[in-house]
Structure 1
Amino acid sequence: MKTDPNIDRRDDVRPAEGEHKYGDVDFADPTNKKYPIDTPEHVRAAWSYINHKDNAAKYEADEVRLIKERIQRAAKKHGVDIQTD
């Protein structure tokens, strides 16, 4: 299971569920298997979800920044136009 030393394991999620639901894909949060970024649709959804205050509040500020950077890179890769702050 891929993890990221820059993102802490959250107690409120089960990473195996994310991997089971989406398969072996890239995630903006690979530690917790949150925010899949393997398709244009997933990139749009990931951006929308991480920009909800209640979702972002579950992470430290530097973790949110890293997740957003990964989503932005995936958006560019998949030709998805997203609104940045």
Structure 2
Amino acid sequence: MGTHISRRDDVNPSEGEREYGDVTFADPTNKKYPIDTEEHVRAAWSYINKKSNAAKYDAEEVDAIKGRIKRAAGKHGIEIDDD
């Protein structure tokens, strides 16, 4: 999924890097939703499925973020429920 995610005005990407370090993010543009550990993958899935968080992205961006989280979940042996 190579969908580009737009830079959000309400986010400072440096904060994500400062908080989590040099890790893989489901939203690499804004450094949101780290997916480097099992705990982060589970949290990312929970957060992107909240309407208030998903509403900050267009539908294609949400699909791209969810796809990245699902792939990371597979690598960590986590089963993701689409509901």
After TM superposition, is the score higher than 0.5? Answer: yes
| 1:76 equivalent in alignment to 2:74 | yes
Q: Which amino acid aligns with 1:64?
A: V
Larger RCO (CA within 8 A; separation ≥ 6): 2
Corresponding residue for 2:58? 60
Q: Which amino acid aligns with 1:21?
A: E
Distance change (3 Å), C-alpha of 1:82 and 1:17: same
Counterpart Cα distance in 1 of 2:30 and 2:47: 15
Q: How many residues of Structure 1 are paired with residues of Structure 2 in the alignment? A: 82
| 1:26 equivalent in alignment to 2:17 | no
What is the CA-CA distance between 1:84 and the residue it aligns to?
1.2
| 1:36 equivalent in alignment to 2:16 | no
What's the Cα RMSD here? 1.2
Counterpart Cα distance in 1 of 2:20 and 2:77: 21
Counterpart Cα distance in 2 of 1:64 and 1:5: 10
Q: Which amino acid aligns with 1:17?
A: E
Q: Show structure 1 runs of 4+ deviating over 6 A.
A: none
Q: Which runs of 5+ in 1 are unaligned?
A: none
For residues 24-76 of structure 1, give each alpha carbon's deviation from its aligned partner in whole angstroms, at most 9, with x where no partner exists. 00000000000000000000000000000000000000000000000000000
Identity rate, percent: 72
When normalised by structure 1's length, the TM-score is 0.93
Corresponding residue for 1:47? 45
